[in-house]
Amino acid sequence: MGRPSLALAFSVVLLAGTACAGTGTVRLRQERTGAIEWTPCGNVECGKLSVPLDHARPDGPHVTLSLARLPAARKPIGVLLTNPGGPGGSGVELVRDAAGQFPQDVRDEFDIVSWDPRGLGPDRPAECLEDLDAFYAVDRDPQNAAGVAKNVVASRAFVAACEQHSNALLPYLATEETVRDLDSIRTALGEQQISYLGFSYGTLIGALYADQYPTHVRAMVLDGVVDPARSYAQSAIDQADSFDASLQGFFAHCRTADSCAFAHGGDPAAAYNDLVAQIRAEPVPGKVDGESRTLGPGELDIGVASALYLGADGYDTLAAALAQTGSGDGSKMLELSDAYTGRTKGGKYSNETAVFYATSCVDAPSPPTVQRVQQLADRAARSAPHFGATTVWLGLPCTFWPVPSEGEVGPIHAANAPPILVVGALHDPATPYSWAVSVSKEMQTAQLLTVDGTSHTSYARGDGCVDNTVDHYLIDLVLPQRGEQCA
């Protein structure tokens, strides 16, 4: 089983870009659905489900999953299960934001349900380092042996903490276990079939589910798709190339758009390279939530990637942050970095980073030595000078991971599944369009919807063509015409 490279971490943070709104005529009430008792909690219903820690040993230790449900506004077609990505993104929070994430037609017709993946919630949480400032501050484009050594020290410290705090849990956080959790949720809901909508890494969960449980699928949408047939090395290079292309799109925007606050009318690419060199030589001070900090090359790379996830919608935000950084204030860029990594005041982080690595590092084999990582980073940097090295070095913890990978790289066919809709944006920075093309060919019943877009994932981002096409398929099971595009 393949996986995206480590730069995909926390894409869910930027997926949930619209604030939660009211739920209209939806009435929340306490009731039991199958094995799950739902109780009102804020604007949704919450429930819990106990599943085996090791699905191969159903009578062994269990872990409790936290779930959320937004009931349909009228008699539902069925259940729409959804996963926001990550690995490690909170499905509970996605459902809480459902009014901003799912069009009204879908909220009318489906009970929308999601869950926090194993390791994320309060029951048996995956824990590594509570303070990740030092881990994320490291320059992931090391310029010399000393820079490589800093990456090694930071990664080893992170992995050692994971092993110390979560050793008993780490062998059971692979995507394969999450796929079985998903079917346990379906069974607990009392549903013969489910509809599923997966974003980013959530597409890998969906594809594997369709492959293993094809008769349990009514409909499935995979948006911002991960290609499991790509090797670790090729995934890293593809993704770095895609982020670099997105950055070039930003530079082109700033050369002509009056709204761009960074090097407008000049040479934004040269200005950006100069700024990177300046920050590598001397970090820039900044203040977030009243806390004085410094912006170094590690946070700069993350902050830029954070804005690029939004595509063109994030260009002006990125320009403002870069302009402020160039004036000697790194506050806005630190805010972008914090949104990406889940940092809160005082250097506290959610455990999404722990879940991300704990899942990614066992899903597919990574480079076995630091030397091999360096070789891959050099190779990636030749085609993607801005994000090539960063993408590869972010994966260094997997080289030291205490649980061996048992995953295999290869296509998922889902041969007996119903028709599946794959949504791919031409300029997606995190999951390249080429992956969507490949997956739509690898999965035997899949059909591709091409979107002329620049953001990571396309659904519920204001494109009526995309939303109407996906909604029509989910509700009426009608696929778009083959070759159809949303401009």
- Is residue 11 part of the annotated active site? The answer reads no
- Please tell me what DSSP assigns to residue 2: -
Residue 364: partners with Cβ closer than 8 Å, 6 or more residues away: 1, 2, 3, 232, 405, 407, 408, 409
Pairing relationship of beta strands 31-33 and 36-41 according to DSSP bridges: antiparallel
CA distance 246 to 243: 5
Backbone dihedral angles phi then psi of residue 222, each to the nearest 5 degrees: -120, 110
In the set 165, 216, 386, 456, the catalytic residue is: 456
- For CA atoms 342, 429, 21, 316, give the dihedral sign: positive
Residue 269: partners with Cβ closer than 8 Å, 6 or more residues away: 248, 251
In the set 184, 200, 366, 455, the catalytic residue is: 200
In the set 301, 428, 463, 471, the catalytic residue is: 428
- Please tell me what DSSP assigns to residue 223: E
CA atoms within 13 A on the CB side of 191: 25
- Is residue 131 part of the annotated active site? The answer reads no
The CB-based long-range contact list for 17-23 (8 Å cut-off, 24+ gap) reads 17/100, 17/310, 17/461, 18/97, 18/99, 18/100, 18/101, 19/97, 19/100, 20/96, 20/97, 20/98, 20/99, 20/100, 21/99, 21/100, 22/99, 23/70, 23/73, 23/98, 23/99, 23/107
- Helix-strand-coil split of the chain, %, nearest 5: 45, 15, 40
CA distance 149 to 127: 24
Place of tokens 């709204």: 259
CA distance 288 to 293: 8
And the tokens for 479? 């696929």
Residue 28's closest CA among 120, 111, 93?
111
Bridge partners of residue 307, in order along the sequence:
none
Residue 443: partners with Cβ closer than 8 Å, 6 or more residues away: 207, 210, 411, 412, 413, 414, 417, 420, 422
Residue 426 burial class via C-beta count within 10 angstroms: exposed 0-12, middle 13-18, buried 19 and up: middle
- Is residue 428 part of the annotated active site? The answer reads yes
- Return the active site residues: 200, 428, 456
